[in-house]
Amino acid sequence: SSPPDFSVFVFEAVVSTQSTGDQKERFCPSLSSMETLASYCLTEPGSGSDAAALSTTAKRDGDNFVLNGSKAFISGAGATDVLVAMVRTGGKGPKGVSALIIDTSSPGISYGAKEKKVGWNNQPTCVVNFDDVIVPESNLLGGEGQGFKLAMHGLNGGRINIASCSLGSAQQCIEDVIQYTTDRKAFGSPLNSNQYIQFKLADMATSITTSRQMVRQAARSLDAKEPNAAALCAMAKLFATEKLFTVCDDALQLHGGYGYLKSYPVQQFWRDSRVHRILEGTSEVMHMLVARDIMKHL
């Protein structure tokens, strides 16, 4: 269950759709070919779910912006070539947020220690620090004050990505556990000859199939720019990441003690999928978004 490639996510969700012609020419060819990689910088040490409270500043200095602040939990940080960062160019709240494309070779960028994570260990995650980093005005995405809107647009696609990661984990888990419970004998018969285990497998398959349909519906809605796309992305992310973590957990349980050994891959899917209920908006925030959407139609 490898994490989604964030260069592709940033390119598709933000840079390719929101950049000017000059920015597309400068950044899109190498990002789309993955010659260069990108990281998406929204979360800060003091602002996670409350993204509009971010405090990293970008103050104008002639034709440039001067950045100061820090970003936290940045996937790929230290190993990517470009950052798309949400920064405060104006007053408080979402209207004061702008988006900048930042070359990671710029002086003043530094990184914290690589985080020691439970899962997602095939890519680095760490703090990114900006200390008087100079970014040209030509790297401003979508106009000043448009950053929060761009960030939310990017997160809709990100939520589909994360839900899809949960789908991949759960699908492999159920395939592995069917094989394991066929091969493993107890009391003279395969484990999955037991009706309880058969019912458990049926529940797991139902969760996977239902989640897959929700993710596909959300993706179609987002592509079609339907007005309820954001809510459908939140629903899909909420349902899939919650239900499919349970699938991974059940698969580990059905492996017995072997499921807790690193020589069996089910434990990695379990570890990797746990964070999906946090990334790109926690399950609690997904509940808020869905409730807000349905209540506005009352």
State the catalytic residues: 280
Distance CA 273, CA 290 (A): 22
Distance CA 283, CA 281 (A): 7
Structure tokens at 161: 């990505």
| Residues near 277 by beta carbon (within 8 Å), at least 6 away in sequence | 241, 242, 245, 283
**86 in Cβ contact with 42 (< 8 Å):** yes
DSSP label at 13? I
Quickly tell me which residue has 């260990």 as its tokens: 121
**277 in Cβ contact with 241 (< 8 Å):** yes
Helices (H), the chain: 6-10, 16-18, 21-32, 147-183, 195-223, 229-254, 266-274, 283-295
**280 in Cβ contact with 158 (< 8 Å):** yes
Longest dimension (CA), the chain: 79
Closest CA to 97 of 106, 82, 87, 107: 87
The helix-helix angle for 147-183 and 266-274 (nearest 10°) equals: 160
DSSP label at 90? S
| Other beta carbons less than 10 A from residue 183's beta carbon | 10
The H or E element that residue 102 is part of is strand 97-103
Q: Point out which residues pair with 87 in neighbouring strands.
A: 98
